[in-house]
Amino acid sequence: MNVRNVERSYNLVNKKLNKTVIAVLMTIIILPSLYVTANWLKLLNHNTYMEAKDWLEQNARNGEIVYSFDKLMYASPSYDSALWDKEMNHVESKKINYILSQKKAFEHSGINIMYDRKSGRYKDLAGPNTKYILVGSEAKIDIPNVEKFHKLELVKAFKPADNKEIEKRGLDTDYLNSPDNWKGILKLEKSGPFIYIYKIL
Helix axes 79-88 and 94-101, enclosed angle (nearest 10): 130
Give the separation between CA 80 and CA 129, rounded to whole angstroms.
12
> What pLDDT score does 179 carry?
46
pLDDT higher than threshold 70 for residue 2: no
The reported pTM is 0.74
Over the stretch 134-184, which tens digit does the pLDDT of each residue have?
988 766 778 889 999 999 999 999 988 887 777 776 665 545 555 445 566
Give the separation between CA 12 and CA 132, rounded to whole angstroms.
73
Give the separation between CA 67 and CA 200, rounded to whole angstroms.
10
List Cβ neighbours of 137 (8 Å cut-off, separation of 6 or more): 167, 170, 171, 193, 194, 195
In degrees and rounded to multiples of 5, residue 13 shows phi and psi of -65, -45
Q: What does the chain come to in residues?
A: 201
Measure Cα distances from 73 to 123, 140, 152 in Å.
22, 15, 21
What b/e readout covers 18-52, taking b as 16+ CB neighbours within 10 angstroms?
eeeeeeeeeeeeeeeeeeeeeebeebeeebbbbbb
Task: Please state the domain extents for the chain.
Answer: 1-45, 47-75+111-200
Over the stretch 77-125, which tens digit does the pLDDT of each residue have?
888 988 898 888 888 888 888 888 888 888 888 888 998 988 889 999 9
